[in-house]
Amino acid sequence: MTEKFKPDPIMNTPDSRKFVKNEFPPLGKEVYVKAGDDMSDKGYEEEKYLGNYLRAKMKRDGKRFWAGDNISEYVNDHNKEQLIDEATEAFELVLDRLLIDRETDPNSHGTARRLAKMYFNEIMEGRYEPGPDATAFPNDSQDRYEGMLVVRSELRSMCSHHHQPVSGVAYIGIIAAQKLIGLSKYTRIAQWCARRGTLQEELANDIAREIMRVTDATDVGVYVQAVHGCCENRGIMAHSSLTQTTVLKGAFKDDQSTKKEFFDNIKLQQDFAPR
- Which residues of this protein are in contact with Zn ion, per CB under 5 A? 159, 161-162, 230
Q: What is the CA radius of gyration of the chain?
A: 23
Rank residues 159 and 208 by Cβ distance to Zn ion and give the closer one.
Answer: 159
In angstroms, the CA 66 to CA 21 distance is: 31
Position of minimal CB gap to Zn ion:
230
Q: Residue 235 Cβ, how far from Zn ion at the closest point, in Å?
A: 8
Angle at 61 between CA 57 and CA 63, to 5 degrees: 95
Backbone φ and ψ of 202, nearest 5°: -70, -40
Q: Residue 198 Cβ, how far from Zn ion at the closest point, in Å?
A: 10
| Strands 148-159, 197-198: pairing kind | parallel
Report whether 48 contacts 30 (CB < 8 A).
Answer: yes
Residue 104: count other Cβ atoms within 10 Å of its Cβ.
7
Q: Residue 157 Cβ, how far from Zn ion at the closest point, in Å?
A: 11
Rank residues 173 and 197 by Cβ distance to Zn ion and give the closer one.
Answer: 197
Q: Residue 231 Cβ, how far from Zn ion at the closest point, in Å?
A: 8
Rank residues 80 and 162 by Cβ distance to Zn ion and give the closer one.
Answer: 162
Report whether 250 contacts 220 (CB < 8 A).
Answer: yes
Q: Residue 19 Cβ, how far from Zn ion at the closest point, in Å?
A: 32
Rank residues 161 and 213 by Cβ distance to Zn ion and give the closer one.
Answer: 161
Angle at 17 between CA 13 and CA 20, to 5 degrees: 155
Rank residues 58 and 230 by Cβ distance to Zn ion and give the closer one.
Answer: 230
